Amino acid sequence: MWQELAAALNELNKVYRQLAEIGEKKRRALVAVDMKALEELLQQEEPLTRRIGELERRRRQVLTDLAAENRSIHTDTKLQDLLKLAPEGTVRRVLDQLFRELSENTAKVKELGENNAVLVKGAMQAVAWHLNRLGGASVEPAYGKEGEVVSHHRNFEFDA
């Protein structure tokens, strides 16, 4: 079963590396404002995220099977703790290497996702600013009993 766990971790690493490649391409597409490329990348990303879900279920099933053999293993046992329970030798070294790679790959995908989210937010703010400028939107202060109230006049309905 330890080999099954190693196989699941290896597959997870492969998928996360592919997601990282797509994340880097998404960053370039966002910077270039290439919406067609971005749409294609999102379509490529969808099956990979589905695959990660499948592999995570497989990993949890292997942990459940291992837990049946060893009472100190649970489905939510951290991989670092699991390494201590793995058999000495090659299996433990392979699992350790796969765990390190997985940690690096997931951290890279997370960082790329966060950076891309910042780019998307900035692009959306730029679009809103240009639409306001083109549409003649204005902000005029109006004062009431409760203090300052700001009224907004927009010529575009952004929520549409």
The one-character DSSP state at 49 is H
Residues 107-157: tens digit of each pLDDT = 999 999 998 888 888 877 777 777 777 766 555 555 555 655 545 555 555
- pLDDT at 38 exceeding the cut of 80: yes
Separation CA 28–CA 51 (nearest Å): 24
Q: Who's near 40: CB < 8 A, 6+ residues apart?
A: none
Percent of the chain at pLDDT > 70 equals: 83
Residues 139, 146 contacting (CB under 8 angstroms) = no
What secondary structure does DSSP assign to 17-84, as a single string?
HHHHHHHHHHHHHHHHT-HHHHHHHHHHHHHHHHHHHHHHHHHHHHHHHHHHH-TT--TT--HHHHHH
pLDDT (mean) for 6-11: 93
The one-character DSSP state at 152 is E
The residue ranking higher by pLDDT, 64 or 107, is 107
Which value, in Å, is the radius of gyration of the alpha carbons in the chain? 24
Q: Who's near 58: CB < 8 A, 6+ residues apart?
A: 8
Write down the pLDDT at residue 44: 95
Confidence of residue 2 (pLDDT cuts 50, 70, 90): confident
- pLDDT at 48 exceeding the cut of 60: yes
Q: Which amino acid is at 45?
A: E
Burial class (CB in 10 A: 0-12, 13-18, 19+), 13: buried
